[in-house]
Chain A
């Protein structure tokens, strides 16, 4: 007998969510004792499905458009424990977009009220959700996401020498702050250094314009796999303007690459595990940081990050197992299987 876990995802779910779900389904305990089904739901759908499930896990985006859907889910599945994983919202998100404070708080409270647990993906995000009172503190749990890190752990760490190849990985979107890093790299880097930008997205033209005339900077599109992208570089930069967790950080650390982050939202958590934070997420601060790091000598931090990544996959499995055990009937007595 296994428990059936139904994951609900938006039609525009980011790739990281899919990789996390795959990792969950393949995990030793939560894979063995649970069956995972992924259901795509159109954003703003008015009719909620009745689900044959022991636990429902929402990876949906909380919006006013989705309130009818969430309400319907709760009403049609009254006895099924429901969990929401907050992949999107952070303190920096609401600040940088000047989201109307009261209206947003109402949306979050109304939506979160449908769930038995809210999973924050980083400690800073959890602290923010609790502080703003979007959900009762005891219903908020923090579980760092993880993916299969074995392809990254298989890479040889770059412990020696000065970093020569820096990289940016992710959707080319203003949220990721790649513009800041490109401008800083132009100001800081020497002739023998290069910056590889992996990803596609709406900011491509603007980033190309910022990189124009500088042969050291290359926008190379998506790599075949994230591990392949990271294998090509010495250090990974994450200048995000907002970031709930930032899976790329974990991948970079697993690969034994130097990791430098802006320190906003969930990225602050990586700082505790060996990442270097620039402090102010400005072109000037990134320029100073890149100059300071060009001589290398950060092996200790890189090893600290790798240790953390090794633990991360296990911690992710254990935390989800605990949450599911806590919410659902014991395995063997599950109703839906």
Chain B
């Protein structure tokens, strides 16, 4: 009985949480005025959220591309199809690994920082002080972070894929002696711009929305204590990561 009770409570808590997240959106989206009213705030956040994440995304993209080069080669060589290595690396990166891994890295690096920062502003009453100064924190604090994260994600995913292609090329042409020309030629002939490249970009736009939404929500409603912020940050990263993987499955099933 107590197990049933716990399951019931857990389910109700999840539905309530989802409902609160849904109700948060209509407050959040009008903050789009910040894009033209306070572009400086958006640019500051684009720098701290986007630019500061470039290095981790580029390094991760390089290693993942190199790994794909090896794995793809050892799989394809058995069939004598190593000339298609460029195509395999490109499809993996643009369709899946670029958007998904970037979103997971982004949730860990920038999403957690957004949640902790907004949560700390709540704890130290900076958000309350803004409200009392007739400044809406939703527009001044939350919206710039949300839209900066939303805009940065597709660009970072594109960077991940491009650097990954370079990593794959270094391994295949430099270490495995695959013909460099066939690496690029297979990619050129096999990758469809609309289905593969735009499909990947669409995924990264959806993931960017989900990760930034969850991060700002968890920060805004974090309990104003050290424990509250710690839990909110963990919840933001875990929930955002799982939601990204769930959406990836759904989008893949629909799109490809």
Whether A associates with B in a native complex is: no
**Footprint of B on A, CB under 8 Å?**
none
**Footprint of A on B, CB under 8 Å?**
none
